[in-house]
């Protein structure tokens, strides 16, 4: 007798990252059986030990096929990627393989073996490049300027081509900047939050290093590149709810996922240092070596399609997002300081 599976089975690639964390928690709360992939080993007790982890490289075609065959998912959320434009210049071939070819291989596997499976592909606002469009939506012309953006644009278009050619339920979410307390320190948003938290606690130096190999807060200063760059900053926890809505919708499609509001890096600094009652201009300095030769200087989503068709609205606004990030970094630093004090003779 064939076993009847009541629960939906979801596979989350890149499950150990920021988005994976929030998405896995959301799927578990909805009663899913969750399988998650990570490139490196993770603590199996994460998420209460309710997740079945698979460890390996998705660019290994045999590993990818076995992963899909063994998990047999009803839904796939492909979040795995080389995730920073700056890093993509250092590893362009790996970026192309993971960000572009892996999504196509997933589409091909679904076509051949799992035609009822639904796919969410994490696309990116970086596909627009340094666009002149005031607002960016699903119809805005792609003009990527980095290996990251180019690879994401390829994946975005190949997913759409498979959807049209084979009638499969394959969707892309064009994700604008989304942050959270779980953002790694090598992202500018978390770097700012960390420096603001340290300064609020009276620190002038941090042990954590920036991309120059120097303390994130050095001599009481946070060094940044172009602080006039504007981004549509949202909360990762809100974005994963959009992912789930997109996959559950009867008709597959692409959606711009963002708040519809843009803020500069300078505004992010102002909000972050304000949490500790500090004047950001006294703690932020410009380092021209951190300026990017190729960058998207302005992103602002037009999420009207997502809002009108799926009813999605962000719950966390910009100020609340920055505050939660700084407060969590303060908690982490205070715990670390207390632990260091406890070990002193």
Catalytic site residues? Answer: 124, 126, 148
Q: What angle do CA 96, 97, 100 make, to 5 degrees?
A: 65
- Residue 201 DSSP class: T
HSE-CB for 72 with a 13 A CA cutoff: 4
**Half-sphere exposure at residue 131, Cβ-oriented, CA atoms within 13 angstroms:** 23
Q: Which two tokens stand for residue 221?
A: 């200063």
* 107 vs 160: CA distance, rounded Å: 10
Place of tokens 């994401």: 152
Cβ partners under 8 Å of residue 279, min gap 6: 273
Residue 92's closest CA among 174, 132, 166, 151? 151
Rounded Cα gap, residues 145 and 27, in angstroms: 34
Under 8 Å between Cβ of 97 and 148: no
- Integer Cα distance of 77 and 75 in angstroms: 7
Q: How many CB atoms lie within 10 A of CB 49?
A: 9
CA 278, CA 266: separation in Å to the nearest integer? 14
**Parallel, antiparallel, or unpaired: how do β-strands 263-264 and 230-231 relate?**
antiparallel
Residue written as token pair 């660019």: 59
Query: How many residues are recorded in the chain?
Result: 345
């Amino acid at each position: 007798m064939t076993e009847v599976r009541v629960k939906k089975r979801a596979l989350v690639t890149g499950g150990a990252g920021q988005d994976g964390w929030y998405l896995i928690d959301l799927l578990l709360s909805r009663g899913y059986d969750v399988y998650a992939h990570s490139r490196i080993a993770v603590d199996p007790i994460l998420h209460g030990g309710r997740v079945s982890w698979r460890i390996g490289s998705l660019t290994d075609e045999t590993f990818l096929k076995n992963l899909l065959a063994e998990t047999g998912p009803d839904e796939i959320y492909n979040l795995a990627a080389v995730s920073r434009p700056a890093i993509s210049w250092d590893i362009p071939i790996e970026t192309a393989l993971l960000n572009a070819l892996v999504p196509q291989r997933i589409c091909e596997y679904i076509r051949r073996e799992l035609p009822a499976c639904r796919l969410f592909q994490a696309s990116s606002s970086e596909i627009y490049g340094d666009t002149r469009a005031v607002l960016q939506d699903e119809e805005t012309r792609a003009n990527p300027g980095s290996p990251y953006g180019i690879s994401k644009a390829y994946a975005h278009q190949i997913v759409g081509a498979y959807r049209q050619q084979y009638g499969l339920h394959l969707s892309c979410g064009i994700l604008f900047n989304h942050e959270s307390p779980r953002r790694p320190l090598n992202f500018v948003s978390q770097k700012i939050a960390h420096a603001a938290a340290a300064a609020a606690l009276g620190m002038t130096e941090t042990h954590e290093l920036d991309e120059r190999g120097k303390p994130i807060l050095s001599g009481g200063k946070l060094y940044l590149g172009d602080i006039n760059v504007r981004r549509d900053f949202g909360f990762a926890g809100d974005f994963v709810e959009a992912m789930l809505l997109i996959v559950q919708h009867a008709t597959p499609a692409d959606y711009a996922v963002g708040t519809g509001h843009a803020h500069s890096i300078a505004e992010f600094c102002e909000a972050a240092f304000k949490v500790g009652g500090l004047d950001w201009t006294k703690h932020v300095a410009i380092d021209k070596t951190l300026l990017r030769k190729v960058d998207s200087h302005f992103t602002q989503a037009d999420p009207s399609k997502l809002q009108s068709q799926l009813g999605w609205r962000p719950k966390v606004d910009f100020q609340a997002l920055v505050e939660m990030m700084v407060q969590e970094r303060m908690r982490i630093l205070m715990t670390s300081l207390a632990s260091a004090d406890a070990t002193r003779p």
